[in-house]
Structure 1
Amino acid sequence: MMTYKLYGLPSSLYTGKVRSYLRKQGIPFIEHGVNHPHYQKTIIPSVGRFIMPVVEAADGTLIQDGADIIDYLEEHETVPLPAQPESTLLKTVSYLFELFGGEGLLRPAMHYRWSFDEQLDFIKDDFLCALVPPGTDQQTRDGNFDFASQRMRAASKSFGVTEDSKPLIESSYLEFLQLFAQHLHNYPYLLGGRPTMGDYGLVSALYAHLARDPVPAKLMREKAPAVSRWVERMNAAETIDIEYADYHTDLIAAGQIPDTLKALMIYIAQEYLAELEAHVAFANNWLRNHPELKTGTNGLDDPAARFIGKAEFDWRGLSLRTGVLPYRFYLLQRIQRSYEQASETEQQQILTLFEETGLAAVLRLKTDRPVERINHLEVWGELRPEITR
């Protein structure tokens, strides 16, 4: 295997997804911060924005975005623990958890990072270690962190973190921890004996924010130690079978989905489906108001911009307004593509499971234009054939 370079931050949710994959597969890599001169001078201009993670191959190829990076590595390396299940049903479920882990858990991830001043010293030091060049004077360090933290606190509101929502975020997240811990008492990973895309999606928030930042890390260790151990396994190259003696690397049978996994899927339906539906509806209205939008662009003045507006929805009895990111539709399409490419028998199995868990809408919830990624940026594709102009 060639040695790759990973550019990101220790505290970065999306960097954590890729770092975990590289470690689990035993792929050699060197991790650099975004303060590295090569990132600043070469990578930012190449990918078109300040964003992470970025992986650079030995031949100079750049891959940006966790999903794209893992897809690239699955294709170009012989990995010992393939992240893509052979079963189409399991693959579809795996993509569901990839979406939820990276996007649906952003609310607790942002709340537990930015709502607790008692951990701010850790957050500051953790951010700056890879954000500013070594030897930077204290005044400049303070200024950099103040700027970054103000942006992140504002972003928290865009993900639905408000004074009214904070208690509900905490109770909802605790419910998730308990459900996931119960599942992990029988399985080392989400779908059985090895991590899949669903695990890598979940570890995004559960490691970088919720297992490293002091306040949520304490909560996880005390309330869901099985999840804490899973986070450790997800960041270890070696096989850890202390509580799963002689467990093989096979995945669960597609026809034997355990109740604990179904319970997690029901939780996703209750926690995230209303937001996803509101975002798709907003995006379609936005697209219809921009009929002049050029295919292959994001339709905005800034080609690197990620938000197109805010959508309102009911969440656990509370009205929330959250930012609409087309990138989420890119991940949603992976679920739908897996379903649509399945055989008729497999499609029926997938539909039955998603109906049973309240998630059938996920299989048909689409934007009028698909989201594509071209030159490391999210752009709108051609209008879908079934959509009347």
Structure 2
Amino acid sequence: MSNEYTLYGAPMSLYTGKARSYLNYKQLAYREVFSSLKVYKNVIVPNTGVRYVPVLKTPAGEYLQDTAHIIDTLEQAPTSRSVTPVTAKQKLVSQLFEIWGDEWLVIPAMHYRWNKDNFPFIYEEFGKVVFPNMPSFVRAYVGKKVGAKFKGFVPMLGITEKSIPAIEDWYENHVLKLLNEHFAEHDYLLGTKPCVGDFALMGPLYAHLFRDPAPGKIMHTLAPNVVKWVLRMNQKNVPEGRYLNNDEVPTSLLSLLKRMFKEQWPVLESTVKHLEKWSTENPDNTAIPRSIGEHSFTIGEVTERRAIASFHQWKVQRVLNCYYQFNGSEKPLVDNFLKEIGGLDAMQLHIKNWIIREDNQLTFSNTDILSIGL
């Protein structure tokens, strides 16, 4: 049996960038296989039942899909390079940045990819899926048709003429500005060692916002320290590092967390409420669709409509499950920290119908929440 992992993904794939960075930091032996149509047909779909990348094949022959599941699984193995902080506030902050990076930074990532001048580069990238060995002009022609499907997700994320100015202001003058200031002082979010939250940020900040030409220029101009962080996150032989002492959370992260609770958390709460209603109206459905309608969201002073992503409940459950595990002296320390960033009420979110992933599909669970492997 080989000790090598196989990562099925693509350079332009947001979540492949997250998984690759994680494997590099863990110093795990792996080979990367480009996910062409042939690979989708012969490997990914038969072994996962879905058409999403990345997929990680373990040395034991298991196929793991979804980066949160991949990291959870690999973190269970004994290792000196764990990316999960052990102290309370840092552990929660890592989880918060996971859901923010994975699910909220997708908004600027998709906007800057599909609404800016990244062509024919991005069309050539998507053309490789169909014709990986053809000349660039052929790939660009075919990739325009393939990319149209992904471009179609842009309005579903609430990216419209109305919301675009607020999205750009948020990303360029808040996200990049504050992360640039933070990474001027710290190698990673919580010290000289990356946490799960770092890898979640790596997805959108690398594959779309660093690697695509137009947003890449913006990042180099506005946030050179973020550029350095991206390059550092892609290295294979970095020292293990360590998290800050005394469960410290840098003050340079607080404004990002405050705005997360102000803008992203209401979307998560709304998703939970709509899923509860959907489950009541569809009692016989065992599989939960990826989208169940629309709801409102706000960035800056602009409110727009977007699709309700049912997967967001599975991700918010991970944050709540982390919070529920704090007891004794940990809980008042965490609660005081949450009060400071406007997140204590958010942690009181009640979920009536918890969901789990079974065979890479979402389904409701009747199991007690604290016994679910989230």
Q: Would you say same fold, with TM above 0.5? A: yes
The reply on whether 1:177 has 2:176 as its aligned counterpart is: yes
Q: Of 163, 166, 188, which aligns to 2:164? A: 166
8 Å Cα contact 2:15/2:53 also seen in 1: yes
Q: Which range moved further: 227-236 or 69-78?
A: 69-78
In the other structure, the counterpart of 1:205 is: 204
1:333-348 correspondence to structure 2 within 5 Å: 333-348=317-332
Higher mean Cα deviation, 203-212 or 178-187?
178-187
Q: Is 1:188 aligned with 2:209?
A: no
Structure-2 residue corresponding to 1:301 = none
Instruction: Please give the alpha-carbon distance, in whole angstroms, between the structure 1 residues aligned to 2:311 and 2:292.
Output: 11
Aligned to 2:364: 380
Mapping 1:213-224, distance limit 5 Å: 213-224=212-223
CA distance in 2, matches of 1:257, 1:335: 17
Shift in CA distance, 261/121, structure 1 to aligned 2, threshold 3 Å: same
Which residue does 2:353 correspond to in 1? 369
Segments of 4+ moved more than 3 angstroms: 36-39, 133-144, 253-256, 291-294
Kept after mapping to 2: 8 A contact 1:372/1:379? yes
- Given that 2:123 and 2:139 are in contact with CA atoms closer than 8 Å, whether structure 1 keeps it comes out as no
| Shift of residue 366, structure 1, vs aligned partner | 4.2
Contact 1:176/1:264, CA 8 A, preserved across alignment? yes
Distance in structure 1 (CA, Å) of the matches to 2:220 and 2:106 = 20
Call closer, same or farther: CA 1:35–1:92 in 2, change over 3 Å. Answer: same
The amino acid of 2:232's aligned partner reads: R
Residue equivalent to 2:372: none
Q: Deviations over 1:132-185 (max 9, x none)?
A: 243458897456423332222220111111011111111100111111111112
Give the drift of 1:94. 0.3
Q: Is the CA contact 2:120–2:140 (under 8 Å) kept in the aligned structure 1? A: no
Partner of 1:5: 6
Identity %: 32
Q: Gapped runs of 5+ residues in structure 1?
A: 241-247, 299-304
- 1:358 match: 342
**Structure 1 counterpart of 2:276:** 284
Q: Distance in 2 between matches of 1:254 and 1:282?
A: 40
Matched residues in 1 for 2:132 and 2:302: separation? 45
Cα offset, 1:126, TM superposition: 2.0
Unaligned regions of 5+ residues in structure 2, if any? 370-374
Seen in structure 2, the aligned counterparts of structure 1 residues 274 and 215 have a Cα distance that, compared at 3 Å, is same
Q: Which amino acid aligns with 1:44?
A: V
Name the CA shift for 1:142/1:319 in 2 (closer, same or farther; >3 Å): same
Q: Say whether the 8 Å CA contact 1:274–1:315 is kept in structure 2.
A: no
Report how far residue 336 of structure 1 moved: 1.0
TM-score, with structure 2 as normaliser: 0.91
Indicate if the aligned counterparts of 1:266 and 1:358 stay in contact, CA closer than 8 A.
yes
- 1:53 pairs with 2:49: no
In 2, the alpha carbon distance for the partners of 1:314 and 1:58 equals 44
Identify if the C-alpha distance between structure 1 residues 226 and 318 changes in structure 2 by more than 3 Å, giving closer, same or farther.
Answer: same
Answering whether residue 97 of structure 2 is matched by residue 97 of structure 1, we say yes
Inter-partner Cα distance in structure 2 for 1:355 and 1:254:
19
What's the Cα RMSD here? 2.2
1:107 is matched with 107
Answer with 206-215 or 44-53: which moved more: 44-53
